[in-house]
Structures are given as structure tokens and as C-alpha cells.
Amino acid sequence: MDALLVVQSAVNVEREFITDFLPVGLIGMNSELMGRYIEFVADRLLVALGCSKTYHSTNPFDWMTMISLQGKTNFFEKRVGEYQKHGVMASAASGGDSSDHGAEFSLDEDF
């Protein structure tokens, strides 16, 4: 149960930090809500580590779910097509069209 003790200690440190550095509540965010969010994240971490939930807190910030990294694609694991100019590959495959003005790419030129 070392993981449980580490997580509980981290939650306590985070609560102290939030209380000290967020003494005045902001619109939609205060130290109590942040404390609940810290507990929610701690429970998720405990479950991921194979332990049972300790705090049973719910996520007070619905918007945090929307910006979660879970659904994002790793840039290096997926081909990004947004950088390809429309029609570039089509004109290269067809041998070029009249708009290329005879331009040819070569690495043989001297500078």
C-alpha cells in the first residue's frame, strides 16, 4: 500500500498549495472545488495503479473532461494531411500540368 500513502501525501500537499495560492475564489473555481478535483484525479490514479478509490469524489469541472488528452492523436503516430497543398500529389502523379511552367525539382544544382 505504498502507492496509497504516496497519493494521499500528494493530495494533502496539493490541498495546502491550493489553499495558500487560491485564497479568493474565482468565477467557477475556488479552493473547495479544486480540492474535489484533486481528489477525483487521485482516485483515477489509484485505480490505474490497481488500488481502490479512496476519496470517491466527482469531477466538479466538466470542462476538464473536454480538454483531456485522452482523445488527442499523437502527432508522430498519425499522418497529418493538413500540411499537403491541395493537388500537389495529383499533379506530380499525372506528370504535371500546364501551371507548373516546366519547373523541375532537382538536388543537382550548384550554389
Domain locations in the chain?
A: 2-68
pLDDT digits (tens, 9 = 90+) for 44-93: 999 999 999 999 999 998 888 777 655 555 666 666 555 555 555 555 55
Cell of 29: 473555481
Q: Provide the H-helix boundaries in 1-111.
A: 2-21, 31-48, 62-66, 88-93
What does the pLDDT read at residue 79?
61
Q: Which residue has the higher pLDDT, 100 or 64?
A: 64
CB 52 within 8 A of CB 42: no
The answer to which of 5-14, 25-34, 35-44, 86-95 has the lowest mean pLDDT is 86-95
DSSP state of 7: H
| Paired strand residues for 26 | 29
The answer to which of 9-13, 88-92, 99-103 has the lowest mean pLDDT is 88-92
Q: Is the pTM of this model over 0.75?
A: no
pLDDT (mean) for 1-19: 92
